[in-house]
């Protein structure tokens, strides 16, 4: 049976700053999805949040980029925004860049990861959701899961994984993608995905039969809007077991709190901290960037679960190290490499500061010329 898992998310406003989604906005979204389930548009759903991002996890049989499913998500975000406005929540409707729905949600602000699959007899998968970071943040763990035998034992010892995987990598600036194979092309893969602000792993496929294993949301809000409108806060769906990484292998990829761009004002590098649903709230310096992972099974398009995967003392040391890294990075204040590089800052409010200072910049060559002419005048008069 062909089932589609659609994870669609948006920041529609939040409590006390960019901190956490308000339960009443989630209830409003829930109502829209319940109605869509009743009307047979979707088969099942789960509404959740990570920090200030409202996350709609839906299953259905209508395929990817389906108008009715996208419209349902849009309506849910609109209804939730209404509640956010009524409550005077912060940045109500933040990620909704357009007013009118026109067929699907591409380019409209919400982030989405969708995967149409032929259900296996048991179909376990994980939905990863992050706040205060951007899509390339999943490059590192996707590589670990699907290409690094020091992370994923199955690449070495499981014959169904041994051939490796294909990575579809998108250049988000040029809007073109390339598919590279691991293990043969891992150096080429790393040459690209090591620049996660530009090259984003969009999908991963099993090489032996082309079966899809992972998909991420690739929307970059600032590139869509041309200015800073909050961070993208990406999601990723990963199928696990039976020829894909084991559940524990996918989670192991997050045991090191690697640095990601985002955090305060979307303009700082900070450690990605895997947390439980309870701790999925942005606090310190609007972060540090947080990740949750919910484990599900899907059967006949119905969701079973979830399990809150990082609600586990096994990740306490990761979180402690993340806190220490947060301390270390914070002590750099406004200096790089805590603050992002200038190319990324182009999409923040920094250009306004530069514009204001423009008339006050002096050309270095003019200063030298002025000195030179003083010297020439002095030598003339002493002659």
Residues that bind ligand 13P (CB under 6 A): 11, 18, 51-52, 94, 131-132, 230-231, 233, 246, 248, 264-266, 286
* Long-range contacts of 270-273, Cβ-Cβ distance < 8 Å, separation of 24 or more: 270/132, 270/325, 270/326, 270/329, 270/338, 271/321, 271/322, 271/325, 271/326, 271/329, 272/130, 272/133, 272/137, 272/322, 273/318, 273/319, 273/322, 273/323
Contact 251, 141 (CB under 8 A): no
Query: Is 142 annotated to bind ligand?
Result: no
52 scored as a contact of Mg ion (CB under 5 A):
yes
Q: How far is the CB of 130 from Mg ion (least distance, A)?
A: 9
> Using CA atoms, how far apart are residues 108 and 104, in angstroms rounded to an integer?
8
Shorter beta-carbon distance to Mg ion: residue 148 or 249: 249
Query: Is 131 annotated to bind ligand?
Result: yes
Shorter beta-carbon distance to ligand 13P: residue 5 or 111: 111
Contacting Mg ion (CB under 5 A), which of 203, 206, 231, 239? 231
Dihedral, CA of residue 155, residue 157, residue 159 and residue 161, to nearest 10: -20
Task: Quickly tell me which residue has 């200015």 as its tokens.
Answer: 227
Query: Is 366 annotated to bind ligand?
Result: no
Which entry of 9, 78, 144, 231 is annotated as an active-site residue?
Answer: 231
286 scored as a contact of Mg ion (CB under 5 A):
no
Query: Is 241 annotated to bind ligand?
Result: yes
Query: Is 11 annotated to bind ligand?
Result: yes
Query: Is 231 annotated to bind ligand?
Result: yes
CA atoms within 13 A on the CB side of 214: 33
Contact 340, 332 (CB under 8 A): no
Q: How far is the CB of 30 from ligand 13P (least distance, A)?
A: 21
Q: How far is the CB of 190 from ligand 13P (least distance, A)?
A: 27
Span from 202-210, 227-235, 356-364, 375-383 in contact with Mg ion (CB under 5 A): 227-235
Residues in binding contact with Mg ion, number by CB under 5 A: 8
Active site residue 228: yes
Residue nearest to ligand 13P (CB): 230
Query: Is 104 annotated to bind ligand?
Result: yes
93 scored as a contact of Mg ion (CB under 5 A):
no
Rg (CA), the chain: 24
234 scored as a contact of Mg ion (CB under 5 A):
no
Contacting Mg ion (CB under 5 A), which of 93, 110, 213, 230? 230
> Using CA atoms, how far apart are residues 40 and 30, in angstroms rounded to an integer?
15
249 scored as a contact of Mg ion (CB under 5 A):
no
Q: Which of 286, 346, 274 is nearest to 311 (CA)?
A: 274
Active site residue 269: no
Contacting Mg ion (CB under 5 A), which of 6, 8, 11, 141? 11
- If one counts every other C-beta atom within 10 angstroms of the C-beta of residue 306, the result is 18
Active site residue 199: no
Contacting Mg ion (CB under 5 A), which of 3, 6, 7, 18? 18
265 binds, among Mg ion, ligand 13P, none (CB under 5 to 8 A by kind): ligand 13P
Terminal Cα-to-Cα distance of the chain (whole angstroms): 97
Query: Is 308 annotated to bind ligand?
Result: no
Which entry of 9, 11, 166, 269 is annotated as an active-site residue?
Answer: 11
53 scored as a contact of Mg ion (CB under 5 A):
yes
Residues labelled catalytic: 11, 228, 231
What residue numbers does the annotated binding site for beta-D-fructose 1,6-bisphosphate cover? 18, 90, 103-104, 132, 241-242, 265, 286, 347
What residue numbers does the annotated binding site for Mg(2+) cover? 11, 18, 52-53, 94, 131, 231-233
What residue numbers does the annotated binding site cover? 11, 18, 52-53, 90, 94, 103-104, 131-132, 231-233, 241-242, 265, 286, 347
Where do contacts with Mg ion occur on this chain (CB under 5 A)? 11, 18, 52-53, 131, 230-231, 233
């Amino acid at each position: 049976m062909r089932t589609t898992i659609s994870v669609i998310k948006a920041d529609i406003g939040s409590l006390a700053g960019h901190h956490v989604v308000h339960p009443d906005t989630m209830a409003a979204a829930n109502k829209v999805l319940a109605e869509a389930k009743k009307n047979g548009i979707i088969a099942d759903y789960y509404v959740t949040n990570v920090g200030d991002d409202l996350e709609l996890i839906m299953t259905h049989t209508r395929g990817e980029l389906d108008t009715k499913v996208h419209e349902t998500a849009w309506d849910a975000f609109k209804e939730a925004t209404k509640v956010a406005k009524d409550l005077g929540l912060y940045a109500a409707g933040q990620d909704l860049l357009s007013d009118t729905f026109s067929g699907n949600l591409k380019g409209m602000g919400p982030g989405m990861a969708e995967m149409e699959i032929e259900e296996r007899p048991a179909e376990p998968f994980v939905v990863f959701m992050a706040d205060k970071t951007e899509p390339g943040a999943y490059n590192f763990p996707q590589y670990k899961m699907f290409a690094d035998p020091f992370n994923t034992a199955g690449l070495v010892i499981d014959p169904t994984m041994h051939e490796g995987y294909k990575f579809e990598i998108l250049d988000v600036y040029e809007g073109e993608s390339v598919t590279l194979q691991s293990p043969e092309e891992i150096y080429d893969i790393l040459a690209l995905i090591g620049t996660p602000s530009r090259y984003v792993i969009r999908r991963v496929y099993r090489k032996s039969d082309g079966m899809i294993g992972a998909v991420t949301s690739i929307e970059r809000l600032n590139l869509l809007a041309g200015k800073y409108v909050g961070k993208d806060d990406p999601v990723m769906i990963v199928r696990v077991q039976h020829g894909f990484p084991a559940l524990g292998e996918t989670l192991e990829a997050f045991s090191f709190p690697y640095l990601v761009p985002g955090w305060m004002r979307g303009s700082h590098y900070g450690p990605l901290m895997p947390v439980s649903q309870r701790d999925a709230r942005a606090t310190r310096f609007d972060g540090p960037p947080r990740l949750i992972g919910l484990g599900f099974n899907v059967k006949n398009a119905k969701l079973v679960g979830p399990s809150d995967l990082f609600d586990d003392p096994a990740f306490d040391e990761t979180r402690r190290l993340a806190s220490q890294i947060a301390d270390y990075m914070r002590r750099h204040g406004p200096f790089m490499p805590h603050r992002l590089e200038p190319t990324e800052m182009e999409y923040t409010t920094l250009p306004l500061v530069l514009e204001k200072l423009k008339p006050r910049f002096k050309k270095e060559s003019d200063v030298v010329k002025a000195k030179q002419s003083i010297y020439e005048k002095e030598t003339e008069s002493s002659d």
